[in-house]
A and B are shown apart, each in its own frame.
Chain A
Amino acid sequence: NAGVMQNPRHLVRRRGQEARLRCSPMKGHSHVYWYRQLPEEGLKFMVYLQKENIIDESGMPKERFSAEFPKEGPSILRIQQVVRGDSAAYFCASSPQDKNTEAFFGQGTRLTVV
C-alpha cells in the first residue's frame, strides 16, 4: 500500500508562471489536506477537500491559489502568477473518510520561485 505521493518533489518556477502541485492520497483515503511550510516555520493549513468538494478553504490565500480533488485522479494545488513569497514546502495529507486522527503526510513539494 503506497503512501501519500506528491509530485514533483522539487519545482522551480519564474515569477509570473504557474505552479501545479499534485497529491495522490493513500489507497482508500477520500480526504485530502494541503499545508504550507515556510522556511523555519511550522505547517499552516490551507485547504481541506473531499472528492469533488472543498470542505474548508479558510487557510487559502484569496487570490492566485486554487485546489481541486476530482472524482478521478490526484488532488491539484494550483498557484497562478507565482511570486517569491510563494517559495515554500507544500505538504499534502490524506485520511480515510473523516478520520483526521489517521492522516498521513506525503514527502512534500518544495517550490522555489526565482
Chain B
Amino acid sequence: AQSVTQLGSHVSVSEGALVLLRCNYSSSVPPYLFWYVQYPNQGLQLLLKYTSAATLVKGINGFEAEFKKSETSFHLTKPSAHMSDAAEYFCAVTLSTGRRALTFGSGTRLQVQP
C-alpha cells in the first residue's frame, strides 16, 4: 500500500521568494513520485516525476524536487516565485511494481503575493 501526505494545505509566498511545498510518502516497494499542478477549473499538468533515476529531478517552469529515501520525502521547490505559479499542487505516488494507479495527496494551494 502507498500513501502521500502534503504538509500545509495553503502556502503563501511573496513574488520572488523561495517556494517550498512538502510531500512525504509511504510505500511498500520502491515508489515512483510525481508533482502535478492544477489551475482553476483545469485538469492536472505534470510538473516533474521521479522514476528511480537521478534523485534531483528538474521539471517545467523552474520547479525541481529531490527524492530523499531516508526521509521518505519528495519536496517541491522553486527558487523564485512568479505570480503565474499560483495554483493547486498535488504530490502523487505509484508503485514501481504491482498496482499502477496514482495515489494523490490532498493538495497544497499556493498563493503568490505581489
Listed in ascending order, the chain A residues whose CB lies under 8 Å from chain B are 4, 31, 33, 35, 41-45, 48, 55-56, 59, 91, 93, 98, 100-101, 103-108, 110
Contact = CB atoms under 8 A, between A and B. Distances in A.
Nearest to A47: B101
A42 B106 contact: yes
A101 B32 contact: yes
Nearest to B95: A100
Interface residues of B, number: 22
Contacts, number: 55
B101 A56 contact: yes
A45 B101 contact: yes
Contact of B43 (A31, A42, A98, A106): A106
A33 B101 contact: yes
Interface in B99-114: 99-107
B82 interface: no
Interface of B: 32, 36, 41-46, 49, 51, 90, 92, 94, 99-107
B98 to A, nearest CB: 10
B29 to A, nearest CB: 14
B99 to A, nearest CB: 6
Nearest to B108: A42
B106 A41 contact: yes
B102 A43 contact: yes
